[in-house]
Amino acid sequence: MSFVSQYSIRVSYNYILVDSIRIAYREAGVGNKPVLLLLHGFPSSSHMFRNVIPNLARNFHVIAPDLPGFGFSEIPSPYSFKYCFENYSELLNNFLNELKISRASFYLFDYGAPILMRIIVKRPEMVEMLIFQNGNIYAEGVGDVLKDISKLFYDDSFESFFKLKRYFEFDYTKWEYVNGVQDVKNIAVESYTLDQFLMDREGVKNIQMELKSDYKSNVELYPLWQQHLKSLKPVTLIVWGENDEIFKKQGALLLKEDIEDSRLLFYPTGHFALEEFGDSISEEIVEFWNANFNKTVQ
């Protein structure tokens, strides 16, 4: 399958008020196509989908929002908005309602996986297709990096706080992009540079620390989400950077085991698999859709 040049696809950069918060989102493709929601994780934004949106928009109505505290969405005060995964899920659900989206396919990556899983459990009728890309819902898939961060939160000492802060600085942000990749020269410098620039804004690192601290709420819900997917049996594509040290390949293998008829593909890269294999993953998404829904989206 060959995709049309990305320059022939128009991507719009929009804003919408959701619960009085100004949410930025990228959108491409016409409204009569099946909806595909792309949700970023830490420390990224919808910018991580910049290369694949034009490819996917030939076949889907693509929407990629920025969560508050990420990208170019508003950053409400922690006094008016509690930064936790449950609140993000409620906000995203309201975002979908504002756009009058009642059915969609979901791209679950990193933080996007626990945020979207909360919606999927509450509104299973919304699910058309799931694409998991290094978005973990298994304890066995949690890498040593997150385990180390968790230990540092529990160890209330100056030394631990100093170590914890390093996970929100440039060297770590860059590491998330380049660790495990085939060739560092394949990774766009602006990707991790933009992420860090946005995280260096006033108050954002405190927000990110709150979210990292709240990640334990996701781990507690892992068994519920696993059981739900076993029962729901959604059409599921799993595309995974197998060298990821944040969310390990065991998480992908367990997803494959639990969801009947899912398709699993490993790529020889790290956490941000789209940086090296965006074209291939885009092709797989479209082909998998066509194979399961017996129609070609044009």
The residue-averaged pLDDT of 239-245 equals 98
Distance, in Å, from the CA atom of 147 to the CA atom of 153, rounded to the nearest integer, reads 10
Q: Indicate the range of 5-19, 92-106, 239-253 predicted with least confidence.
A: 5-19
Q: Tell me which of 26 and 156 has the higher pLDDT.
A: 26
When comparing pLDDT for 71 and 162, which is higher? 71
The pLDDT tens digits for 181-232 are: 999 999 999 999 999 999 999 999 999 999 999 999 999 999 999 999 999 9
Instruction: Examine the residue annotation and report whether 271 is marked as an active-site residue of this protein.
Output: yes
Catalytic residue among 40, 47, 61, 271: 271
Sorting pLDDT into bands at 50, 70 and 90, what band is 30? confident
Express as a percent the part of the chain with pLDDT over 70: 96
* Cα dihedral value 281, 113, 104, 226, nearest 10: 110
The whole-angstrom separation of Cα 207 and Cα 210 is 5
CA distances (Å), 148 to each of 32, 118, 155, 166, 170, in order?
Answer: 46, 25, 11, 12, 18
Write the pLDDT tens digit of every residue in 43-74: 999 999 999 999 999 999 999 999 999 999 99
